[in-house]
Structure formats: structure tokens, C-alpha cells
Structure 1
């Protein structure tokens, strides 16, 4: 009668599992994440890149001031970043933009700019939204740039050494009731 030894089979299985997991981690690190970090850091305006793998993957991009962005435009810079990420990691990725918004800009954004933008989205009155944002920026002596595409509204604010970037998705336009 042949006897199957459980312990050597179990140890071998654990070693193979560890080898496979280690190989996958090395592949991700050297063939996916490092090249992605390098290509993202070559985009104009990108100062720092942090990538966290998971479900979904999270890419945190620290951007520099307006003048360092691609043509000084958040939308163009974000599009270049998104293209690189989609090419390397696919579409199930969360992108977060970092900035130097300490000081008055966060309060100003949350207190007024965000209200005008959300109101413009809700009413689908983007020309009024743009004029409200321009008026508010001028009255607060804030340099700004507001652009839009089919998916997002891009807002750049700068006052002195502080700058704030927001990429705001349009609200879902699907019909139906929500709870």
C-alpha cells in the first residue's frame, strides 16, 4: 500500500504558492508600476506619483503650479495622465489629483465655487456657471481657469503660492428615481 505523506505535499504547495505570489508582485512592480510611474513623471506638471494596487488601483498625482502644467491647462495635463494610466493599467483605476491648496482656497472652493459648479451641473446651465465662477474669482482676486469636456469639469484656482485643482465629473444623467 502506498501512503501519501500530507506534510511534504502541504509544504510543497505552500512554497509554490509563495513563489507564484512573489513572481506576480515582482512582475507588477518592475513591468507595470515602475514604468507607469516613470511615464507619468514625464508629463508636464507632475511632481510626484504614488500608486496603490487593489480593487480599484489608486493613482495619486501631485501637480505643481499652473505654469508647470501642460500649456498651463489642467484638462490637457489630466488627459495626458489618464491616457498613460489607461494604456498601462486599464480603466478600473481611481485617479486623485494633489495640489497645494492649504490656506484660503479650500474654504473658498467649498464655500462658493463648488456651489456654483454643482448648481450649473444640476440646471445644465454651464454658461451661467462659468460667469458665476469668473465673477467670484475676480471678486476674491483669484486666478482661475475653468474648462469642460464630455466627462469632467476642470477647475484651477491660484492665489499667491497656493493653487487648487478639481476634476469634477458631471452628475449621472440617467433617468429614474433615486433613494
Structure 2
């Protein structure tokens, strides 16, 4: 009799545990991701967002439109992204990528040396020479750079302390981006 009770209690316990676990997974994967995507789309400059699972790791892929204040956009995204690192997808061109690559020397030097005023001046000169409009802001967590040329825009968040919140930004041809 007691052996039968133990068996029944064990089966009921495993059933309840399985239901709770599947409920938690359903909540995290469907409802939470759905609300996360819905909230992100209400942010100015965000066209769409999705959670992308790649090789066991997930990331929040954010498709940007014309961004006017990247720092504010990133602050809002950080508050809703939870544990997901954020990757911004912009409408870059090869010309904007080339300008950005040329700017890397000044950006890295500014970060290492802490001479952000000189970095800003150098980047402004490079942007002007390339015919690109630059918007550069920073806070204690990162440097926020927007390069605009006509309808095209390259956005980049360079973390100052390697927090891992923002992954390198990419263009629209990024594999996995639903267009």
C-alpha cells in the first residue's frame, strides 16, 4: 500500500514539475519575447526587432530607421532587452563603412588615451572630408556614433568597458535578419 502511494506521489510530482517547467519555458519564449519586441518597436528610430537564436546564444536584433539620438535609443533598448545582447542593424553603404573603418584609429586611440576631445575633433574632420554628417555622443558606458549620408546611416555603439550589452552593428544584409 505504501509502495503504491509513493509511486503515485512520485508520478504526480513529476507531472506537476513538467507542467511548471513547460509553462516557464512557454512564458519566456513566447509572451516575454513578444512583449519585448512590441516595446522595442515603440522606440523612436526602431523599425522592427526580433530575438535571434544562433548556436545556442540569443541576441536581440534591432532594425533601425533614421536614428536621431542613438544614446537615448540604446538606453531605452537596454531597459527592455533583459539578458539578450543587442545588435543594431542599420542601412549602411560601403562608403559609410570605409569612413567608419578610417575613424577606428582615432576612436581606439581616444578610448585608450582618454583624450575624447581630440578624438571628437579628429572624427569631425574625417566626417567633413568624406561628406558625411556625424553625430557623436558618449556617457560612462559607451561612445555612440551615427554617420549619415543621404538616406543611408551607419550606427555604432562602442562600449567603453566591454560590457557585452551591444554587439557590433551590421548592415541589412546580416544573415538571420528578416526583412
- Structure 1-normalised TM-score? 0.74
Q: Describe the shift of the 1:105–1:14 C-alpha distance in structure 2 as closer, same or farther (beyond 3 A).
A: farther
The answer (yes or no) to whether the contact 1:58–1:96 under 8 Å persists in 2 is yes
Deviations 1:23-58 (A, max 9, x none): 233212343111111111101110110113687641
Higher RCO structure (Cα 8 Å, ≥6 apart): 2
Aligned to 2:41: 41
The answer (yes or no) to whether the contact 1:103–1:162 under 8 Å persists in 2 is no
* Alignment size in residue pairs: 158
1:99 aligns with 2:90: yes
Name the SS of the counterpart of 2:43 in structure 1.
coil
Deviations 1:63-89 (A, max 9, x none): 101xxx3xx21111111111222xxx2
Aligned to 2:124: 134
The structure with the greater share of residues assigned to strand is: 2
1-structure distance, mates of 2:35, 2:161: 33
Name the SS of the counterpart of 1:77 in structure 2.
helix
Name stretches of at least 5 consecutive residues in structure 2 with no aligned partner: 5-10, 163-179
Q: Aligned match of 1:161 in 144, 151, 163?
A: 151
- Structure 2-normalised TM-score? 0.74
Name the SS of the counterpart of 2:131 in structure 1.
coil
Q: Relative to structure 2, which stretch is displaced further, 121-130 or 47-56?
A: 47-56
2-structure distance, mates of 1:167, 1:138: 21
Name the SS of the counterpart of 1:163 in structure 2.
strand
